[in-house]
Structure 1
Amino acid sequence: MNEYFCSKCQQNLKPKRIDGHYILHEIEHVLHFERGILYTIRELLIRPGENIRHFISENRSRLVKPVIFIIVTSLIYTLINHFFHIEARYIKIDGAKDQQLNAINSWVQSHYGYSNIIMGAFIAFWLKIFFKKYDYNFFEILILLCFILGMEMLMFSFFAILEGLTKFYMMQIAAAIVFAYFTWAVAQFFDKTRVSSYFKAFASYILGMITFGISIMILGALMNLIVQH
């Protein structure tokens, strides 16, 4: 009998050695390749609102877990951005003007996964206001945004690669596509038959980003006051 085998719990007491197969299995487990992160991306491209609504209300095994999805897709964009230095062509940070605010902005750029979740909370607030007659709570709307913002990160990643390879400015095009995708996906989630759903979705996105930006400025100002005193 195997001395490292427990007859009660039917498990090995001593785990197998970590090797390449173990690492691949862990990556597959995190990204849920069994059903597929690629499957999730395809479904979110074709029928985002319907699939997310189905995930929330009926079956949560068809798609990759939303928080994992937004963190992984944000990491993909971060790696591509660091490799091609895309944002350096668009964003200039002057450390001499407001060190605390610039420190926050630098953190946001270095931690897009967490930043997107935080920004998603601001957008969710406005979506909850504009679509208050629908029976979705704040956290369910936040799950919706984890999927949508994750897809946006992949779209930005695609155009960042194109810009890195061609040296043409592509991120403006990416931003327009992202705005259109967000509006369409959110409207599809709530009620794609109403024109007002598209306007409410777009307004929620704009207001969410504005309030997120204002909160960063307020936080920077508070940090400056703390440092000065």
Structure 2
Amino acid sequence: MHPTSTAPIVLDPKLAHSVHSAALDTTVHHVPTACLNCNTLVSDRFCGHCGQDAHHTHRLTLKDMPHDILHSIWHVDKGILYTLKTMVFRPGPTIRAYLAGKRVDHFRPLSLLFLITGVYALLFSALHINMLPPRDPTMPEALYQMQASSSAFFMKYLTWCYLATVPAWALAARLFLRRGGYNYAECLIIAAFITAINNFITLLLLPVTYLYSGTPQIQTFSFYAMLLVIGYASWAYGSLLNHTTIGWLSRLWRGFLTFMLGYAMLLIVGITLMFTLNWSSIKQSVKQQKQHTQEQQTVGNQGPKATPQLR
């Protein structure tokens, strides 16, 4: 039997100091602290009872005000910049990661949609932008005014209108992206994210929109802006099928169909609602236009009156 050594183990002084410091730091970090919100003892950073940050609730100073104001009103933090960046350049992987549970670094999709659309609506109203060109003389005045009132209504309730569009695009995504295995609730998240970025694109184009406001060129600019939005949406929706065996052209086509079907449904509802609310004005305008046309035809058929010739 071998004798047991009883000699003390001698550590290097520097190593012993490092071990002692690490142990002390660990001990200090895990000392339970009473949550200032609900008085629950918390050993981690966040309270498991109410969710408040229990170890970083310091006395407020002036340097905390800008962040606290923005966070209180909009719940804005660094996550919005990260979400915008990843959604613009990698929409498919970003949304799939969010659906898989990696959400702490991302801004919530509905909050993002509310925030971007709200900023756009505020600037649009403050700049008094007119998306309609000057009235064509051949267009009835009532029809032009109907378009103007519908546009004003849409911009007044822009945030709620876009929120109402999410279920339509989610339904289209459920139909054309079914190979991706997404349920309808996940399609709502997908539609909210992509709709928010579409609105972010229009927000970036707002200076040019203001430049062409109320001019004949506004229709041409709106057309090209719409092409940009369609292109991004088709790519974004299609990229949600990257994990499948579907080819890239077919994925892009399915993404295009997803956006266009949702857009068509909204267009049909919008036009139907517009004509329903203004049906009496439309009938009166058409009647006046018809009478005016008949009067012009009557005058044209009669021709100039013959003047008697003097002999």
TM-score range, shorter chain: 0.7 to 0.9
For structure 2, the residue ranges without an aligned partner over 5 or more in a row are 1-34, 41-58, 280-311
2:179–2:241 contact (8 Å) kept in structure 1: no
Kindly tell me: are residues 88 and 55 of structure 1, through their superposed partners in 2, closer, same or farther at Cα, counting changes over 3 Å? same
Kindly tell me: are residues 95 and 53 of structure 1, through their superposed partners in 2, closer, same or farther at Cα, counting changes over 3 Å? farther
Kindly tell me: are residues 180 and 61 of structure 1, through their superposed partners in 2, closer, same or farther at Cα, counting changes over 3 Å? same
If you compute each CA radius of gyration, which structure gives the higher value, 1 or 2? 2
Counterpart check, 1:66 vs 2:109 = yes
Residue equivalent to 2:233: 182
Counterpart check, 1:81 vs 2:132 = no
TM-score normalised by length of structure 2: 0.57
Counterpart check, 1:215 vs 2:244 = no
Residue equivalent to 1:10: 39
* 1:200-211 paired onto structure 2 within 5 Å: 200-211=254-265
Kindly tell me: are residues 49 and 87 of structure 1, through their superposed partners in 2, closer, same or farther at Cα, counting changes over 3 Å? farther
Q: 2-side partners of 1:26 and 1:56: how far apart?
A: 30
Kindly tell me: are residues 164 and 44 of structure 1, through their superposed partners in 2, closer, same or farther at Cα, counting changes over 3 Å? same
- Give the drift of 1:79: 2.1
Kindly tell me: are residues 138 and 52 of structure 1, through their superposed partners in 2, closer, same or farther at Cα, counting changes over 3 Å? same
Q: SS in structure 1 opposite 2:180? A: coil
* Residue from 236, 242, 245 that aligns with 1:191: 242
* 1:28-67 paired onto structure 2 within 5 Å: 28=71, 30-33=74-77, 35-67=78-110
Q: RCO higher in 1 or 2 (8 Å CA, sep ≥ 6)?
A: 1
Counterpart AA for 1:183 = S
Q: SS in structure 2 opposite 1:59? A: coil
Residue equivalent to 1:141: 187
- Give the drift of 1:98: 9.9
For structure 1, the residue ranges without an aligned partner over 5 or more in a row are 1-5
1:104–1:216 contact (8 Å) kept in structure 2: no
* Residue from 123, 129, 140 that aligns with 2:169: 123
- Give the drift of 1:85: 3.3
Q: Which moved more, 1:71-80 or 1:125-134?
A: 125-134
1:123–1:205 contact (8 Å) kept in structure 2: yes
* Residue from 138, 147, 153 that aligns with 2:199: 153
Per residue, is there more helix in 1 or in 2?
A: 1
The two structures, once aligned, show a CA RMSD in angstroms of 3.6
1:101–1:217 contact (8 Å) kept in structure 2: no
Counterpart AA for 2:203 = S
1:160–1:171 contact (8 Å) kept in structure 2: no
Kindly tell me: are residues 23 and 190 of structure 1, through their superposed partners in 2, closer, same or farther at Cα, counting changes over 3 Å? same
CA offsets 1:121-161 (integer angstroms, 9 cap, x no match): 21221221122233211221111121111111111111112
TM-score normalised by length of structure 1: 0.75
Q: 1-side partners of 2:144 and 2:157: how far apart?
A: 20
The percent of aligned pairs where both chains have the same amino acid is 20
